[in-house]
Amino acid sequence: MSSIKQLSLILFLGLLSVSIEATTLNFNYANKTTQVIAGVKLTQTESDGVITIFSSNSNGEVTLPSTSNTYTLSASLAETGDDPISLIDAIQILQYGGELRTLTADQKTAADVNKDGEVDVLDAIWILQHLGELRTISPDLIFLDANTGKPLSETTFSGTDTPSISVVRLGDVDGDFDPSLITDHAPILTGKTTLIINENEVDISTLVASDADGDALTYTLSGPMPLILQSVPLVCFLLIVLPIMRWIKLPIR
């Protein structure tokens, strides 16, 4: 066998040995492994336009299936929990300004409550105004690409990447927010939630709802259909796409 053929064979076998495996993401608040965040809605948008929704489990984990596409991620948590902002957060900002304390990159993001790119006395004033109910600071969690410090949605990942995610909340400089105290999460419809069906064609898809609290779920179908179905614990729906769409309910036997 010639050296060229041998090299080609080695390269071919090398390509075969590369596999794209599922990726597990962890959602921990303020990078503390004890502060897992359940019920995070994670939306993956692949380069071919496929959109898939995931929900973090009780351990704050989401498993992304393998893909050869590049993709982006966006995350959110519907529930806000208790307000963690306190006088301590303002004091830590002032200490940082006086070079009496250092802050991590994530802490600086949380401390920059007025979003001017600087951590200074004005941020401490905003926190004091918030505590005095003279100003409202957004309670939404901020999801960041831990490698760049930028918003998670601004990063494009490849199929072989393992995204690392940081989570902070504006004003909570000391990171004492406890997401485990949220015990009533809204259910999240997961999977590929957009169905595109051509006229006179049949498509089969599975829609699954996830509840971080483990509560029993019922499903309701609504929309501009001739038939509106009532909430049921488990049922199979057949959608026939004709010039006038019809929903048919098929009991599962």
The full DSSP string for 74-135 is EEE-S---S----HHHHHHHHHHHTTS----HHHHHHH-TT-SS--SHHHHHHHHHHHTTSS
More confident site: 229 or 186: 186
Q: What's the rounded mean pLDDT across residues 173-196?
A: 87
51-55, 89-93, 212-216: which has the minimum mean pLDDT? 212-216
Say if CB 167 and CB 144 are below 8 A apart. yes
Predicted confidence at residue 221, as pLDDT, reads 63
77-81, 86-90, 181-185, 241-245: which has the minimum mean pLDDT? 241-245
Taking 50 as the threshold, does the pLDDT of residue 230 lie above it? no
Predicted confidence at residue 226, as pLDDT, reads 45
- 3-class secondary structure, 25: strand
- 3-class secondary structure, 5: helix
Whole-prediction pTM: 0.78
In whole angstroms, give the CA distance from residue 30 to residue 177.
9
Taking 90 as the threshold, does the pLDDT of residue 103 lie above it? yes
- Average pLDDT, whole number, for the chain? 82
Q: What's the rounded mean pLDDT across residues 38-58?
A: 94
More confident site: 206 or 17: 206
Predicted confidence at residue 224, as pLDDT, reads 56
